[in-house]
Amino acid sequence: MAKMFYDADADLSIIQNRKVAVIGYGSQGHAHALSLRDSGVDVRVGLHEGSKSKAMAEEQGLRVVTPSEAAAEADVIMILVPDPIQAQVYEESIKDNLKDGDALFFGHGLNIRFGFVKAPAGVDVCMVAPKGPGHLVRRQYEEGRGVPCLVAVEQNPSGGAIALALSYAKGIGGTRAGVIETTFTEETETDLFGEQAVLCGGTTALVKAGFETLTEAGYQPEIAYFECLHELKLIVDLMYEGGLEKMRWSISETAEWGDYVTGPRIITGATKAEMKKILAEIQDGSFARAWMDEYHGGLKRYAAYRTADSEHLLETTGRQLRKLMSWVNEEA
C-alpha cells in the first residue's frame, strides 16, 4: 500500500509562516489561493497584464500583483498557469526572483519532468496535485471536506520540502481526504498515459466507434447515443463505487457474459501493444515535445480535431437529446 497522509500528519503552521504566491487564477489557481487564504496563509495572486481573471480575484478579496512582483514578495511560488506557457512565465517573471531557501510549487509535473523548467539548486521543488478539477477542490474545502492530492519533491535543499508540501496540501483541504506521496516522474507519466489511453482518448474513441457501427448499420442515432454514450455514466458510477465486481453484480447475466467474451475482442493484444508504444512516447518526452510544438505553432491541428468532433453525428444528436433531459442539465 502507498503511504497516505492525513490532517494529523501535516503541520499547517509551516505554510502559515511562509509567503505564498499563486501564479494564475483559473481552475486550480482560484481554489488554491482562496482556500490557503481561508486557512490563514499569507497569499498574493500573480496575474499578467490584461488578465481576464484579475477582477474576479480582487472581488473575492485577494491582492493581485504581476507575476514578477508576486514571485519577488513570496518565498513559496505555486505555478498554476496552463502547462504549455509555464516555461515562458518562469523565464520572464519567476527565475530572477528566486532566492536560496525559496520553494517552487507545481500542480502537475510536466515542465519539471521534461526539463522545460530548470530550478536553481538552492530552491525546493515540490508538487501538490489535487486529483480533481479546481472547482471541486474549492467546493469540497468550503464544505469541510477535501479532494485527495498527490505530493512529490524533486529538489530538497532545505531538507523540509516534504513537510512544506504536506502543509500546503493541508491548507487546501487535501489531507482531509488523504494525500499520497509520488514523484514528478510517476505523476506526470501516469497522468498523461491515463488521460490519453483510457480516460479521454480511449473512451471517446470507443464511444465514437460504437456509435458509428450502430448508425452505419441503420439504427436510429438517438438509440445509438443512449447505448454508447448516455449509459456509460451509469456503468462508470457503479465501477467507481465498487469496482468491476459491483458493476457486474448490477447488470444482467446476459450483459455480464457479453462483457467477458466480447471485451477482449475489442481491446486486443494489438491495442495493448499500442498502449505500450504510447507509454514509451510519453516516457521519452516525444509526446510532450510534439504537444509544445503544436501549442506554440498556433494549435491548428488541435482546432481542426475539435471542429470535426463538434460536427459529428454523435454530438449533434446528443445536443438535441440533452435539451429534453432536464435531469442531465440539473446535475451539471
Q: Give the largest CA-CA distance in the chain.
A: 67
Give min distance, CB of 314 to Mg ion, in A. 18
Q: What are phi and psi of 106, to 5 degrees?
A: -135, 155
Interface with ligand NDP, residue 108, by CB under 6 A: yes
Cβ of residue 56: shortest distance to ligand NDP, in angstroms?
8
Return the number of the residue (140 or 215) whose C-beta is nearest ligand NDP. 140
191 binds, among ligand NDP, Mg ion, none (CB under 5 to 8 A by kind): Mg ion
**Which of residues 130, 146, 148, 171 is near ligand NDP by CB under 6 A?**
130
By beta-carbon proximity to ligand NDP, the closer residue of 48 and 139 is 48
Q: Which is nearer to Mg ion, 21 or 150 (CB)?
A: 150
Decide whether 255 or 273 has the Cβ nearer to Mg ion.
255
Q: Does 173 engage in binding with ligand NDP (CB under 6 A)?
A: no
Give the range of 19-27, 36-44, 195-203, 275-283 binding ligand NDP by CB under 6 A: 19-27
C-alpha cell at 52: 481576464
Shortest gap between Cβ of 299 and ligand NDP (angstroms)? Answer: 14
Cell of 275: 498502449
| 189 lines the binding site for Mg ion (CB under 5 A) | no
Residue 318 engages ligand NDP in binding (rule: CB under 6 A): no
Task: By CB under 6 A, name the one of 5, 14, 22, 25 that touches ligand NDP.
Answer: 25
Query: Does residue 28 touch ligand NDP according to CB under 6 A?
Result: yes
Q: Residues 30, 48, 108, 296: which is the catalytic one?
A: 108
Among residues 14, 36, 41, 47, the one that binds ligand NDP under rule CB under 6 A: 47
Size of the site for Mg ion (CB under 5 A): 2
Give me the 74-103 binding string for ligand NDP, x by CB under 6 A, dash otherwise: ------xxxx-x---x--------------
For ligand NDP, the closer of residues 82 and 264 by Cβ is 82
Three-state secondary structure of the chain: CCCEECHHHCCHHHHHCCEEEEECCCHHHHHHHHHHHHCCCEEEEECCCCCCCHHHHHHCCCCEECHHHHHHHCCEEEECCCHHHHHHHHHHHHHHHCCCCCEEEECCCHHHHCCCCCCCCCCEEEEEEECCCHHHHHHHHHCCCCCCEEEEEEECCCCCHHHHHHHHHHHCCHHHHCEEECCHHHHHHHHHHHHHHHHCHHHHHHHHHHHHHHHHCCCCHHHHHHHHHHHHHHHHHHHHHHHHHHHHHHCCHHHHHHHHHHHHHHCCHHHHHHHHHHHHHHHCCHHHHHHHHHHHCCCHHHHHHHHHHHCCHHHHHHHHHHHHCHHHHHHC
The reply on whether position 177 binds ligand NDP by CB under 6 A is no
Residue 230 annotated as catalytic:
no
Nearer to ligand NDP, 195 or 309 (CB): 195
Positions annotated as catalytic residues are 108
The residue ranges that bind ligand NDP (CB under 6 A) are: 23-29, 46-48, 51-53, 67, 80-83, 85, 89, 107-108, 129-130, 133-134
